[in-house]
Chains A and B, each alone.
Chain A
Amino acid sequence: MTETEMSAQLISQQQTVKFYQTGTFTVGNRLLDKEFRTVQATQERSNSIDSGHRACQGCGQALGARYALDTAMRVTGDKIIAANATGCLEVFTTPYPETAWSIPWLHSLFGNVASVAAGISASLKAKGDNETRVIAQGGDGGTTDIGFACLSGLFDRNDDVLYICYDNGGYMNTGVQRSSATPGGARTSTTMPVGEHPGSSFNTGKYLPGIAMAHEIPYVATASVHDLHDLERKVEKAMSFRGARYLQINVPCPLGWGSEPSQTIKLARMGVESGLVPLFEAEYGELTNSTKIRYQIPVEDYLKSQRRFAHVLKPANVEQLETIRTLAEKNIRRYHLL
């Protein structure tokens, strides 16, 4: 067995174990046999982002990015280059005059990261480097709004790039404006909870994993920072394909969501358990796997620990709550979550 095959097998064994890593469901890495422990538990783990960066306390994006890129480093033998869109991740990792990145990393603009990454990939190819892999990453704003055309072009050309979108449901870097990935009902600084339809409107916005699937690219997956083993596995799987791949990670943002920094992991899990954040994988446009909800929770439980949804839980807005419930049910049906 080659090393990669071995680690693939290990990973799949880890999946069958399915322990939660943190929060109330913690079993704890230290209780597992060594081979089942997460790679992050070893001192030899990859380290794409150094500590000391400037993210807020409890930033889900900082966590998601480190796990995703560490995994990519591990499976490629540290042979990755990352291109980054403008946004929180870019700003908090490179506060002048420092950088937290230990991999080659380029920030160009807010809306062009998919094309920049495609260019890096083309350059590597032209130079005969088949080993080094390319990752493009950005926030939901950079991905679903301003970078949408570039991203669609990347999918269309099937360039060899893994695109990772850290979805925190808004333009957090510039002070929490609505993006087209902001959930319906959520308060942002541009969708205040006032008037007849408080918060972000429903029936707007777009779901990029679905759009990526419609491009029939080799691999599309969604992940969440509460289940880091699953996230690691999906990055590893993504790296086993050539061509355009899309991974969207749900990353709670205490600042934008109005949540407690200590609740980030729990909140990420509740998003999934409520059905509002479906976790699944798709290959060449077809759904291949969905993560079943283990303990289904009412959407209210998820909403109530986020100030951005405070108005939704008021009796006057019961219709909004009903709409959100319907969305969860739709996800559950569409992605076979139960």
Chain B
Amino acid sequence: MWNLSFCIGSSAAGARTYTATASQGLLYMMEAVYNASGLGLPIVMTLGNRAIGAPINIWNDHSDAMSVRDAGWIQLFVESNQQAVDVHNQAFKLAEALSLPVMVNMDGFILTHAITRVDLPEQELVDQFLPSFVPRQKLDTHSPLSIGAMVGPDAFTEVRYLAHHKQKEALTIIEQQAEEFAQMFGRDSGGLVKSYFTEDADIVFVAMGSVVGTLQDLINDLRSEGYSVGILSLRSFRPFPANAICNVLKNVKQVIVFEKSFAVGMGGILASEIHMATQRYADIQDMKISSVIGGLGGRTITKKSLRKIVEHAKNGQLDSEVFMDLEGSTVVRELKRQQHEQTSGPVAENILRDMGVVSASKTH
């Protein structure tokens, strides 16, 4: 709350502004998140993606990022620490070109706490790529300006439409900037989507963030075993690059959307957006889309489990909705218990009680 509000003030007064947060901290600043994009402030914020409680959980998944998917920010995802370095440079350029805040999503712990080799771009080149910030509007005594005035029914629709339009403009700019970056620094980072081994692939994973690295490693193995599997890495989630996605997926028979969060009561968020894209933007028929949800609250995503998913897909046994590595016995026990009791109570606490945990009801 204070954190991003501080940034709102700083950015409105004309400074290039950056911050970082995660999980509960993001939710605590939720009002300010919407506010920053509405005010058109080019703030860059790293989100070290983590789960959201209750039950409290400090580990990695994408619940925090997904909770602000409608907040009007540009949301980029990085696969590796190198991309994190590179994409942050692009994020400022993008934010300032569009007057929009940009959120760079990097997997909490998995990337934020990893030690690994990165090439740091040279300062001179960075200065060339990203010239100093000249704000489009700022609080200035020489030309006083009011920022954040009320907009009523007579113009609110137009304001919202234009925000949507701006995000669509970003689709082009993100691609241009990634290209420019590649030319200057010789590295492929950023952009809307990135495909690995997708040409001629029968099965394609769609995923965001660091799991793409593990999938790459897996697919190296699988390719040598004769599987034809590819990955479509979504590097920009907002704006949602529907056309770029459809271009890659148009001839694929089976798509596995792997995501680290979901909308409770609905299912995979990314999966349904991919579904929407393939229908609305390209009218792709006979494509099977399976939604795989995994890595929730930091559950380890192993190559072994991902391989099983691929094997199931190959044999045509992959359901349309799969929770990877779900501990069946815990779930069955709890469901049974719920059948017997009229009011079911909080699930997390019930599971604890089932595990024989001493609860508050014990006597002493």
Contacts and interface: CB of A to CB of B under 8 A. Distances in A.
Nearest to A48: B364
Given A107-B56, A109-B24, A50 B358 contact: yes
B364 A105 contact: no
B352 A111 contact: no
A72 B311 CA distance: 59
A102 B352 contact: no
Interface stretch (A22-30, A93-101, A246-254): A93-101
A90 B58 CA distance: 13
B304 interface: no
Interface in A126-147: 146
A97 B355 contact: yes
Interface of A: 46-47, 50, 86, 90, 96-99, 101-105, 107-111, 146
Interface SS of B by simple majority: loop
Contact of B360 (A47, A101, A107, A109): A101
B332 interface: no
A104 B360 contact: yes
A294 B174 CA distance: 69
B28 interface: yes
Nearest to B353: A97
Nearest to A78: B364
B28 A98 contact: no
Interface string B131-144: 00000000000000
Give the size category of B's interface with A: 10 to 19
B340 interface: no
B117 interface: no
A16 to B, nearest CB: 32
A90 to B, nearest CB: 8
B360 A99 contact: yes
A105 B357 CA distance: 15
A178 B42 CA distance: 28
Contacts of B28: 110-111, 146
A99 B357 contact: yes
A105 to B, nearest CB: 6
- The 4 A-B residue pairs with the shortest CB-CB distance, nearest first, are A97-B355, A102-B364, A104-B360, A47-B364
A98 B351 CA distance: 11
A97 B355 CA distance: 7
A99 B359 contact: yes
B357 A102 contact: no
A330 to B, nearest CB: 29
Given A96-B352, A99-B358, 20 more contacts: A46-B364, A50-B358, A86-B24, A86-B56, A97-B352, A97-B355, A97-B357, A99-B352, A99-B359, A101-B360, A102-B360, A103-B360, A104-B360, A105-B360, A107-B56, A108-B54, A109-B24, A110-B24, A111-B28, A146-B28
A102 B362 contact: yes
A211 to B, nearest CB: 18
User: Which of A102, A103, A108, A110 has the largest count of B CB atoms less than 10 A from its CB?
Assistant: A102
Contacts of A105: 360
Contacts of A90: 56
Nearest to A111: B28
A108 to B, nearest CB: 7
Contacts of A111: 28
Contacts of B352: 96-97, 99
A13 to B, nearest CB: 28
A328 to B, nearest CB: 31
A225 B28 CA distance: 33
Nearest to A174: B58
17 contacts: A46-B364, A50-B358, A90-B56, A96-B352, A97-B352, A97-B357, A98-B358, A99-B352, A99-B358, A99-B359, A99-B360, A101-B360, A102-B358, A109-B24, A110-B24, A110-B28, A111-B28
